[in-house]
Structure 1
């Protein structure tokens, strides 16, 4: 069976990627770090093994900022787009908003982390 390939990139197009599936742990998160990184109350993510990600585009890999003792946040240094998180483990988490086709069934979040950090008026429904 052929693996699904997901593509996407930043707002200006200088960072482009392809991610060979399967998509792992699609989820949403409302922790303060995700809120500040994304500028939204909830961030939507999906993970891939590092070896399944290919960076292309004029800037190659995204810029990184060390955000914790195990991970760095990834972004485009030209347009500022949030790309995701590159963990010390061989995992790269990519935010759903940068995919060319973010509504694909394989990317639908299955869980929500730090749901208690979201404002009480913010309702996030997750498909099981």
Structure 2
């Protein structure tokens, strides 16, 4: 039996998952579809082969909404939590915020897509905080 690498789920706990693989393609994205899917200006994603993800909660697999010609967005039908995307390719992309523990190295984003979709004020608070004396 393969070792469980990651666990996570939705806000109410109905949708739960386990993975038996390290995360692939850790990245953030600020495209309009990700913004609307998550309600956030950026989404943090990781990908897994479908065969490495098991839906273990009492709710079974998440509900889906067909969002493009190649993918469906996944969410919990009970609490509405966004879980990720289930692609037509044998890939499941999960949002890092759904994981029980987010400190694993394979969850650290290594790229950012659609940076031009970020608002111009995106870094103001960060820059102001860095300019403040300790």
The verdict on a shared fold, with TM-score over 0.5 as the criterion, is yes
Structure number with bigger Rg: 2
Distance 1:68 1:118 in 2: 21
Q: Which residue of 1 aligns with 2:36?
A: 36
Higher helix share: 2
- Note the alpha carbon deviations across 1:75-125, whole angstroms, 9 max, x for none: 0000000000000000000000000001222100000000110112214xx
CA distance in 1, matches of 2:3, 2:23: 10
Q: TM-score, normalised by structure 2?
A: 0.88
Task: Tell me the equivalent position of 2:108.
Answer: 108
> Counterpart in 1 of 2:79?
79
| Rounded Cα–Cα distance in structure 2 between residues aligned with 1:88 and 1:9 | 21
Partner Cα distance (1:89, 1:108) in 2: 23
Q: Paired residue for 1:92?
A: 92
Deviations 1:46-65 (A, max 9, x none): 00000000001111000000
Distance 2:57 2:4 in 1: 20
Give SS of 1:34's match: helix
CA–CA distance in 2 between the matches of 1:91 and 1:20?
14
- Give the aligned length: 122
Moved over 6 A (4+): none
| Conservation of the 8 A alpha-carbon contact between 1:3 and 1:22 | no
1:1-128 residue pairs with structure 2 within 5 A?
5-123=5-123
Consecutive unaligned residues in structure 2, runs of 5 or more: 124-134
Structure 2 equivalent of residue 126 of structure 1: none
Gaps of 5+ in 1: 124-128
Contact 1:76 1:83 (C-alpha < 8 Å) held by counterparts: yes
CA distance in 1, matches of 2:35, 2:52: 27
| Distance (whole Å) between structure 1 residues aligned to residue 78 and residue 42 of structure 2 | 24
